[in-house]
Amino acid sequence: MRVVVAMSGGVDSSVAAALLAEAGHDVIGLSMQLYDQSDGESGYGSCCSLDDLHDAGRVARRLNIPHYIVNFEHQFQRTVVANFVDEYVSGRTPIPCSHCNSDLKFSTLLDRSRAYGAEMVATGHYARIGIDPETGRQVLRRGRDTSKDQSYFLFSLTQDQLARASFPVGDLSKAAVRETARALGLAVADKPDSQEICFVPDGDYAAFIERHAGDLDTAGAIVNQTGDVLGRHGGIHRFTVGQRKGLGIAAAEPLYVLQLRPDAKTVVVGPRTELERTSLTASQVNWIAGPPPPGPLRVMAQIRHRHLPAPASVRPLDEDRAAVEFDAPVLAITPGQAVVFYEEEVVVGGGWIE
């Protein structure tokens, strides 16, 4: 089978390509150019930089597979960067990785792969795909290495995308992936993982947004729950629900961001206990494992990538929305983040927190 592998230049996608080649597949490596590098400089920093593209090419030569660079500058700007900026300006906290996966890698890349006669697209994600024997539908499962599991970022994939996707490292631990890379003599075996959002490598989201949002005026007041003004802020894009540091105000007890009100340019703060919520509403819900349930469904709901899943009931609403009721209060439910529903290790679905 001919398989296109999205090669980022990191160890995970490199080992994914190697495993498929060892299994006898006809493997083609594709690396995404996401910004203009004609001047030799990186437009964003660590996302598919010149060094990463070079590393992907070296791995491809080592594996004796063809390697091509595809230009996704326009798509990346439109589907990932613009959404990231717009969400922060609107008082939400986005997850660019999820948009990049579903709207770029598994949409645009799938279309592009057909030009190479490929039936599948593989990535280095720590997740697994199976088939439900009762329904015949594609099933997305957590990666075997729970500390590296990335299924949370893949909740919006469709059945058609899952049917043509492959995650070769999903059954491996990170240690096993690096050991495989060393055994194969891949130069990226000990390459560090990226820890930040790839196009904001220095972690300064506010500065990035200010550079890309044009005429930005979101400065306003910091208030408590009764509306008393406690201070001023330089823009709501500098805050996220649950944030404690960087408020710039003195108080007798620690204060946390409870709510962002973009229309009023207001940041609402209060004590940590006020961050606890027992319900949320999600939009653009994707029921990845099957049709929407006819009534409330018991799940483990995860509201952030690093949050532990919590027991909850999810109930479908109209217009691809859903209501989630948690058994116990959860902390810092954040608009713009994803809530993903699990039944044990299987992803039932997920949506964007309103």
Q: Indicate the pairing of strand 2-6 with strand 120-122.
A: parallel
Closest by CA position to 91, among listed 241, 263, 207, 236: 236
Question: CB–CB of 241/332 below 8 Å?
Answer: yes
Q: How far is it, in rounded angstroms, from Cα 154 to Cα 140?
A: 8
Check the CA dihedral 167-192-51-77 and report its sign.
positive
Assess whether 97 carries a catalytic annotation.
no
| Residue owning tokens 């929407």 | 292
Q: How many CA atoms lie within 13 A of 91 on its CB side?
A: 16
Cβ 353 vs Cβ 338: under 8 Å: yes
Give the Cα separation of 353 and 322 in Å (integer): 10
Q: Which of 47, 48, 97, 198 is catalytic?
A: 198
Q: Compute the distance between CA of residue 301 and CA of residue 30 in angstroms, rounded to an integer.
A: 34
**Catalytic positions, please?**
100, 198
